[in-house]
Amino acid sequence: MQVYFMRHGQTNFNLQQLCNDDPSQPAFLTETGKQQALQAAEVLRHAPLERIIVSQLPRTRQTAEIINQHHQVGIEISALINDIRSGFDGQPVQEYMAAIAHDRLHAGINGGESLLQHKQRVLQFIDWLKQQPNDCLLVIAHEETLRVFKAWFETLDDQTMIDLAFGNCEIINYTL
């Protein structure tokens, strides 16, 4: 199975450097984010996508709808690939990073997930993905989620995983 993993386009929360893990918050693609999605759509134009899977956060669905203009395939939602539940929704990313700095892997603040808890949730998605019959999928998710995907496919350790970075609409591709 060929799987394309992609981070969503730029959002208003990205510009404001705010955490967002609540699907009801008004985080949406900016004009730049829409342009990034259009560029990714061109990159993926000839990929034989059979389905697109997105998180519950609207920015992934918005990105998928732009990509899907060339494919007209089903878009499905999976909570397993939601962004990390930071415990800092709507608050500055800098404050979240300062709060977990003492133990970036294990710290869960304000009822949020630790990075390792988030990883376990995303690994459940990978287990589910292994059971899927499709030959070619696109999964649109979040930077933390893409870190887990890349680490799993490339057998990277947790310390390496937490330092990975992905730009908006960056695409990585693996065979499962």
C-beta atoms surrounding 12 within 10 Å? 15
- pLDDT for the residue numbered 117: 97
Length of the chain in residues, anyone? 176
Specify the CATH class of 2-175 in words. Answer: alpha beta
- In terms of Cβ atoms closer than 10 Å to its own Cβ (0-12, 13-18, 19+), residue 70 is middle
* pLDDT tens series, the chain, 176 aa: 999 999 999 999 999 999 999 999 989 999 999 999 999 999 999 999 999 999 999 999 999 999 999 999 999 999 999 999 999 999 999 999 999 999 999 999 999 999 999 999 999 999 999 999 878 999 999 999 999 999 999 999 999 999 999 999 999 999 99
- In terms of Cβ atoms closer than 10 Å to its own Cβ (0-12, 13-18, 19+), residue 77 is middle
Q: Is 165 left (phi over 0), alpha (psi -120 to 50) or beta?
A: beta
